[in-house]
Amino acid sequence: MKLLTDCPRQPFLGLAIAAAIGIVAADNCPRHSITVAVIVGALALGAWFARRSLVVYALVAAGFFFLHSARTMDSAGKELARALGESPRPVTVRGAVMSEPRISERGSASFLLQANSIEIDGQTHACRAKLFARWRHTVEFGDEVRLFGTAQEIEGPRNPGEFDMRAYLAREDVHRAL
């Protein structure tokens, strides 16, 4: 017991661990439904009236589970990837350059494009997704552009130990390249 009295108190450590448990659980089996929302509400009421730290930790874990699931399951990038399918498709995208363009040795610029609208098979749809774009002309951060090209999956690493651009961009909710 002497060890517990010698250590300084860490009041938010339990909350941080509960939040991490909720996020890891949502990464492994994401679900956001009305049932999970009702459970979060019931835990909030229970935490208010019970005033026990265990109920508060359960509330934090369930809340982070729900929020992380809602954010990662129905994101704009995943909706666009589902709409485009697995095979490459020709599209016209209107949007703004939202990252500083990197100029390659061949002179083409690669950047993240925040789409405002996308034309697929002659039909224009509103779109909030981000795409990874390559273009031969010079662009600057914030430019409004209209690009025509083939929307396709982002290439994964070709060699072991190589940087995984697909995984990096997926964390930024970018699932297609133009």
Q: What is the CATH number of domain 77-177?
A: 2.40.50
Looking at residue 12, the DSSP 8-state letter turns out to be: T
| Residues 152, 93 contacting (CB under 8 angstroms) | no
Q: What phi and psi values does residue 22 have, to the nearest 5 degrees?
A: -65, -40
Place of tokens 């599209």: 91
Q: Which strand (E) or helix (H) includes residue 16? A: helix 13-28
Sorted by where each begins, the domain ranges of the chain are: 2-73, 77-177
Residues 20-74 have pLDDT tens digits of 999 898 888 877 778 888 888 888 888 888 878 888 888 899 999 988 888 777 7
Q: Which of 48-52, 95-99, 107-111, 123-127 has the lowest mean pLDDT?
A: 48-52
pLDDT band at 115 (very low <50, low <70, confident <90, very high): very high
